[in-house]
Amino acid sequence: MARGPLCRLEQCRVVCGVSRQKRSAGIGLFGGTVDLATSTLDCNAIHLDGEYDYALNDLGGNRCGCGEVEEPCKVLSSSLKPPDPLL
């Protein structure tokens, strides 16, 4: 998805990431913080899905939309549940 995202449980940095044609969310925010920069979210059902206690730091240069149609990159909620923990 991104060029070497630096992620840990409470924070994730996505730089130059690309998310295309996801049936749910391009990026899901389930608590914690995401730093998002120069990334493309294209033709996802919801580009940025925020659930629970989250923060999004928009560091600029991001593009949301579908094909040639652009729209503002904003966090929405679809009441998604986080995935089960890995064992």
Question: Residue 28 — very low, low, confident or very high, per pLDDT cuts 50/70/90?
Answer: confident
∠ CA 55-58-39, rounded to 5°: 115
Q: Which range marks the domain in which residue 34 is found? A: 6-67
- What is the rounded CA–CA span in Å between residue 79 and residue 72? 21
The answer to whether position 85 is within a domain reads no
∠ CA 53-48-58, rounded to 5°: 80
- Give the other-Cβ count within 10 Å of 51's Cβ: 17
The answer to whether position 75 is within a domain reads no
The answer to whether position 33 is within a domain reads yes
pLDDT of residue 9 exceeding 50, the answer is: no
The answer to whether position 28 is within a domain reads yes
pLDDT at 82: 65
Least confident span in 2-6, 40-44, 73-77: 2-6
The answer to whether position 82 is within a domain reads no
Question: Residue 12 — very low, low, confident or very high, per pLDDT cuts 50/70/90?
Answer: low
pLDDT at 71: 93
Looking at the structure of the chain, the number of domains it has is 1
